[in-house]
Amino acid sequence: MSIFKLKDIKQAAVYITPNFPSLTTKRYKITFIKLFWYLFSYSLAVVLILLTVLTLTPLKNALFIFNGDMLNTQKAQIQELEKRVTFLTTQLESMVSTNQRLKYAIMLGKSDTLDSTSAIYDSLRYFHNRKLKIGGDIYEAFINLLRRFFPDTVNDSNIFFLNPATGVITQFFDPAKGHFGIDYGLKSGTPVYASLGGLVIFSDYLINDGYVVMIQHDSNFITVYKHCSVLLKKAREYVNQGDLIALSGNSGINTTGPHLHFEIWSNGKPIDPLSVLTK
């Protein structure tokens, strides 16, 4: 068995015979050493040219789109987009939930009777039968007794509303311009009181009106308190006339400064609060 020696490899050669259409044929002899250097030089030249192109020309951006830096940037952008989508989804769910509760509140305000099997009827019955706290409004206690034993003697004329806050009225009732209540100019954090006792049917945040409280009263009245900074009562809580229910503020889009927007609705229609508020 013959063994190749390094000397034999150095002396080995490759013969190339071109097939040219001529009468004479010439053979070319290339040793392995020369062939190796030819291939090495060619490869080195290609690598140098490629590096030059990638370093000095914008072609590198086209060839290496998914390099490490760009992948990290895209990953950060995707994470930020996911956060925004999650935030928007949460806001939409909150808006849908708030919208459903607001629709229910409006429906409740327009209805004359309640289903005796509903949970809200149980709440009304519970609060109607509970004892008044010591120090309560004597007039309200008297009216409650009249309602319980002589319901026909109590009508809308026996119901009076208190001012929900102490402040200067800066804008009056003007339904022609879409202003269905009155505005009290107040500092943020001013106490807001229940104008009349009743059941809180809505207490939550709305984009346009900010933090809002809606109270259902007897004889199908509803009072609305908008743009509050803090809500102190929750839905399905019963409040007495004069109870602290919120603090005024400047929340929501439809506001130009700290104030309380107060509305009174009767049978599904807004009325001028000044026509029924007690002087």
Number of domains in the chain: 2
pLDDT less than 50: residues of the chain: 1, 109-136, 153-154
Owning domain of residue 230:
97-275
Residues 114 and 196 in one domain: yes
pTM over 0.75: no
The predicted pLDDT at position 197 comes to 92
Measured distance CA(105)–CA(225) in Å, rounded: 14
Same domain, 49 and 105: no
- Contact call for residues 202 and 235 (beta carbons, < 8 A): yes
Average pLDDT over the chain, rounded to an integer:
76
In a domain, 90, yes or no: no
**pLDDT for res 123:** 45
100: amino acid identity, one letter: Q
Q: Are residues 133 and 20 in the same domain?
A: no
Contacts 24+ apart (CB under 8 A), 118-122: 120/199, 120/236
CB count in 10 Å sphere of residue 72: 10
Q: With beta carbons less than 8 A apart as the criterion, state whether 224 and 263 touch.
A: yes
Residue 26 lies in a domain: yes
Please tell me the predicted confidence (pLDDT) of residue 126: 44
| Same-domain status, 112 and 201 | yes
Identify residue 42 by its one-letter amino acid code. Y
